[in-house]
Structure 1
Amino acid sequence: MVRFSDLGIGQDLVQTLWEEGIREPFEVQIEAIPPAMDGKDICCRAPTGSGKTLAFGLPLIERASKAESQRPTSLVLTPTRELAEQIRNVLDPLASRYGMDVLSVYGGTSYGKQRTGLDRGVEILVACPGRLLDLMEKRALTLEDVEIIVLDEADRMADMGFMEPVCDIIESCGEKPQMILFSATLDDDVSRLVEMYQNDPEMIGIGPEEISMDSMEHLFWKIKPYQKTEVSVKSVKRAGRSIIFCRTRRGVDRLGDEMQEMGVELSTLHGGLNQRQRDRAMSKFASGRSMVLIATDVAARGIDVEGINCVIHYDPPDDAKVYKHRSGRTARAGSTGVVISLVKGNEKRRYDRIQKEVGIKKRFSEPHPDDLEKKEFKLVEPRSKRVKNRSNQNHNQRNPRRRDRRGRGQSDNSKRGKRKKRYSRQNDSPRNWGEEKRGRKGRKKRRGARRSHPGNNRRRSE
């Protein structure tokens, strides 16, 4: 059995991993960590969820130099905010034990906190290309001290049009840094990056070269536009945990409202949400507090959530590559899954082309969501509700005989009840006047009580 210490990782970091419950390295870590520790450039093809973050993160923690203010020494570039935050959450607990700081910078959040972190000095900077260039233009940092640069999901950055910004960032580094590149596919754009910026890289391939379409069931249902929401609801109630992809932000919000009205617990995710809303949506879905995630293609790559039984193409994907990326959220790690495409009449030709490019041949049939395999899914209660239920349960256990304040045959031991009981023993006390029933008769009665009270009948001294 291979251990992290066999890969060149120091004993202190191995002990930290052990305390975090990380005992054995994955295949991509076994292949990538030794050359990364030797300072070699790496070009690795590996799917999402294979353990890439620690494959490049552990060498960064071991080899990163101490950073000065506004001068990070290691840089990780990612295509999306979610992936940047995910990487930071993995590396920060490990790096903090060695006095190293990890900072993530991306759009949709305040510049203030990010600039404060850079001023303090960070060894490992995790960034999206757009926000990083903005900060560089504002002179919030310089990349002249960067010794190691990591490109994670390089093919996704190419798909999103980040190739030119990525090249500008790489060329802004002072000396030629060590470059570690991870990508699910090594297409033309990624190959160009390798040729331009890597020096005799270590080539590593993990898993199949492409997402396997054979491990999932593909269904293409002919459908009218007004049927799409109803069929989607029936499908997810049969299949359990699911992701539904829409083309636009407005489509995500509209479908989310309609499905919530039909009793489906869901989360929505698209680029129009701020970072806090996006984090809350992903946390809700990943923790099991919602059964369905409705998203644009922003969630098709880089988000690793286990146990997805069904993917629904509510709107058609742009091409075969997007179809693969969407569908690859299910049937992972040896499990099975179902992929459903809702095909309107004018979309049949597009899906014919996608089937041909993907390498599958399926008939277009009428929708039969009731024929899907029934998968059980138990929603996790929100933490606030669990705490409330637990406190009520403990309260009842401590006071098993306690009833409502107005319950018959049972004294009221609350503060209010004790106060009333105490005042009721002193009917002539002025402290009890406020307990009298208010109203015209009550006012007359209180006025008479005040006049007849002994304390009010004293004569003033002449």
Structure 2
Amino acid sequence: MTVTFADLGVNDRLVRALTAAGITAPFPIQADTLPDTLRGRDVLGRGKTGSGKTLAFSIPMVARLSETASRSRTPNRPRGLILAPTRELATQIAATLEPLVLASNLRVTTIFGGVSQNRQVTALDRGVDIVVACPGRLEDLMKQRHVFLDEVEITVLDEADHMADLGFLPGVTRILKATPSQGQRLLFSATLDNGVDKLVKQFLSNPVQHSVDEENSPVAAMTHHIFEVGGADAKKVLVQRLASGEGRRILFMRTKHQARKLARQLTEAGIPSVDLHGNLSQAARDRNLAAFSAGDARVLVATDVAARGVHVDNVELVVHVDPPAEHKAYLHRSGRTARAGSAGDVVTVVLPEQRRDVAVLLRKAKIDAAPQRVTVDTPAVAELVGPLAAYVAPAPKEPAPAPKTRGPRTGGGQRSGQPRTGQQPRSRSSRGGHAGNSGRRGGRPTSARSESAGYRG
């Protein structure tokens, strides 16, 4: 017999909101944790990426806070706090919460860096029930006395191991100390290393632990392929072919420069692509993710900033164009496909000098995939790519502004080279080789923008 959300104790209002969003049956980590979280227990949840952790903590938070939603909100004092390591993850958690809070007459806001704090301060001043925050900006606003955590009833720490990897644990510790010790605390993490276990011991009270898979285990619905190529030129051709199919795909690069360069090259080749990396402003990140989610761009070229927290439905293929440095990054990059029960493929492109390092990486990640020597014409490549998508002409580059012409001088003596009275001065554009700045590079092509990224938790 299939377990339902109602069977687990979720109230009718939230069940209706979930059903309206197309979510009718819980995933294992939700089914395991909800009975305890809804009773107010502290919970330590461990599950692989894409296993449904966001709803596992969103449902009990909204259910608990909705019980007292009728009382007036206190400005600058939220009652629910969710900490996330990246802006993208914070944004997507808030998107998952949105239908639940709307159904429960609650308010949620996000707090993270990279954007002006004015909107965040205004929302806090008006009063919000739930704050989804990255630690750095939240601490800044705490120091400025724009937010106080002394009324927080339930705190969630998501992707705790990634917080540790990024060096956020000292800030997270200070934030958790600012919340009431008697409040409910939920911690979700793929692993318990790098100090995460210390957070559990210090801040969770007699927690119930739920693990729905072995630590660092790969996703069963994910198929891994190791494609070896003869050199850099063969790699370039292969990567373009892997990007040229009809479905969504994410290509991972090591550096920001290479991610930006590859997105531009693919777009110019008729494959609409956007980039995602740390050099982009928050507005550019949001715009590019929205274009990718809406289908205006079929390919997302990213650095490891997208390895966690970015969820777009129906990503068919992940390509490690540059193999990552360590096995956890491989698993989290790969986890952008085969999410929430869907299937997906992962390709690692390997140059001859990378064979040994990649073999070690895969062994640590517990991936069993035999390397294949391929070219762009290998049947295994064609089968993976599927039907090629239609060519899409890149948007025209914006022309550079026309140079100003130099007018005649007035007064003073005449310089050498200045036109005599009665002569028309020559414009710079009439001098050979500079007309229209044709030798300069234009702006990077961009894909059409979308109003909504359509994220799912």
Same fold, judged at TM 0.5 (above): yes
How far did 1:139 drift?
Answer: 1.2
Residue of structure 1 equivalent to 2:155: 149
| 2:228 aligned residue (185, 201, 221) | 221
Q: Given that residues 308 and 337 in structure 1 are in contact (C-alpha distance below 8 angstroms), is that contact kept between their aligned partners in structure 2?
A: no
Once the two structures are superposed, the pairs formed by residues 367-386 of structure 1 within 5 Å of their partners are 367-368=375-376, 370-371=378-379, 372=381, 373=383, 374-376=385-387
- The 5 A counterparts of 1:365-404 are 365-368=373-376, 370-371=378-379, 372=381, 373=383, 374-376=385-387
Q: Structure 1 residues 108, 264: CA separation in 2 closer, same or farther (over 3 Å shift)?
A: same
- CA distance in 1: counterparts of 2:335 and 2:14, whole angstroms: 33
> Structure 2 stretches of 5 or more lacking a match?
393-457
1:335 to 312, 318, 343: 343
Counterpart AA for 1:210? N
In the other structure, the counterpart of 1:85 is: 91
- For the residues of structure 1 that align with 2:201 and 2:253, how far apart are their CA atoms? 36
Instruction: Name the SS of the counterpart of 2:48 in structure 1.
Output: coil
**CA deviations over 1:404-461 (Å, ceiling 9, x no partner):** xxxxxxxxxxxxxxxxxxxxxxxxxxxxxxxxxxxxxxxxxxxxxxxxxxxxxxxxxx
1:300-311 maps to which residues of 2 (within 5 A)? 300-311=307-318
Q: Residue 113 of structure 1 aligns with which residue?
A: 119
What is aligned with 1:410?
Answer: none
Q: Is the 8 A contact 1:229 1:259 kept in 2?
A: no
Relative distance call for 1:369 and 1:308 in structure 2 (3 A) is farther
Aligned partner letter, 1:152: D
Aligned partner of residue 4 in structure 1, secondary structure: coil
Q: Which residue of 2 aligns with 1:395?
A: none
Partners of 2:369 and 2:293 in 1: how far apart? 33
| CA pair 380-137 structure 1, distance change in 2 beyond 3 A | farther
Q: CA RMSD in A?
A: 2.5
More helix by share: 1
Write out per-residue CA displacement over residues 298-347 of structure 1, whole angstroms, 9 at most, x where no aligned residue.
111122234333322222311122122222333453624141223263x3
- 1:168 maps to which residue? 174
2:422 maps to which residue?
Answer: none
Instruction: Give the alignment of 1:192-231 within 5 angstroms.
Output: 192-212=198-218, 215-231=222-238
1:135 paired residue number: 141
TM-score, length-scaled by structure 2: 0.76
Contact map agreement 1:240 1:375 (CA 8 A) in 2? no
Task: After TM superposition, give the deviation of residue 164 of structure 1 in Å.
Answer: 1.4
Q: Residues 211 and 328 of structure 1 are in contact (CA less than 8 Å); yes or no, is this contact kept in structure 2?
A: no
Which amino acid letter does the alignment assign opposite residue 182 of structure 1?
F
Q: 1:358 to 1:90 in 2, by over 3 A?
A: closer
Q: Please give the secondary structure, in 1, of the residue aligned with 2:243.
A: helix
Given the superposition, is the C-alpha separation of residues 33 and 228 from structure 1 closer, same or farther in structure 2, using an over 3 Å criterion? same
- 1:190 paired residue number: 196
Distance (whole Å) between structure 2 residues aligned to residue 363 and residue 175 of structure 1: 52
1 CA distance for matches of 2:328 and 2:92? 24
Letter in 2 for 1:211: S
Residues 321 and 16 (structure 1), Cα distance of their counterparts in 2 relative to 1, 3 Å cut: closer
**Aligned residue type for 2:269:** M
What residue in structure 1 maps to residue 361 of structure 2?
A: 354
Q: CA deviation at 1:117?
A: 0.4
Max Rg structure: 1
Query: Quick check: 1:241–1:377 contact (8 Å CA) kept in 2?
Result: no
Whether the 8 Å CA contact 2:225–2:369 is kept in 1: the answer is: no
* Structure 2 residue matching 1:243: 3-state secondary structure: strand
Q: Summarize deviations over 1:43-90 as a string: whole Å, max 9, x none.
A: 011223332222211211121255411111110001111111111112
Moved more, 47-56 or 222-231: 222-231
- The answer to whether the 8 A contact 1:43-1:204 is kept is yes
Unpaired segments ≥5 residues, structure 1: 382-462
- CA 1:351 to 1:14, structure 2 compared with 1: closer, same or farther past 3 Å? closer
Aligned-partner Cα distance in 2 for 1:169–1:271: 25
1:16 counterpart letter in structure 2: A
Q: Show the counterpart of 2:7.
A: 6
Higher relative contact order (CA 8 A, sep 6+): 2
Write the letter of the residue equivalent to 1:115.
V
- 1:187 deviates by 2.9
The CA deviation at 1:353 is 2.7
1:290 corresponds to 2:291: no
CA contact 2:85–2:163 (8 Å) conserved in 1: yes
Worse-matched range after superposition: 226-235 or 52-61: 226-235
- Per the alignment, residue 404 of structure 1 pairs with none
2:251 alignment counterpart: 244
Deviation at residue 237 of structure 1 after TM alignment: 2.1
- Pair 69,336 (structure 1): closer, same or farther in 2 beyond 3 Å: closer
Alignment check: 8 A CA contact 2:227 2:373 kept: yes
- For residues 334 and 89 of structure 1, what CA distance do their matches in structure 2 show? 20
Measured after TM superposition, the shift of residue 350 of structure 1 is 2.6
2-structure distance, mates of 1:82, 1:94: 20
CA contact (8 A) 2:32 2:210 kept: yes
The alignment-based identity, stated in percent, is 39
Deviation of 1:168 after TM superposition, in Å, equals 1.2
Report the equivalent of 2:43: 42
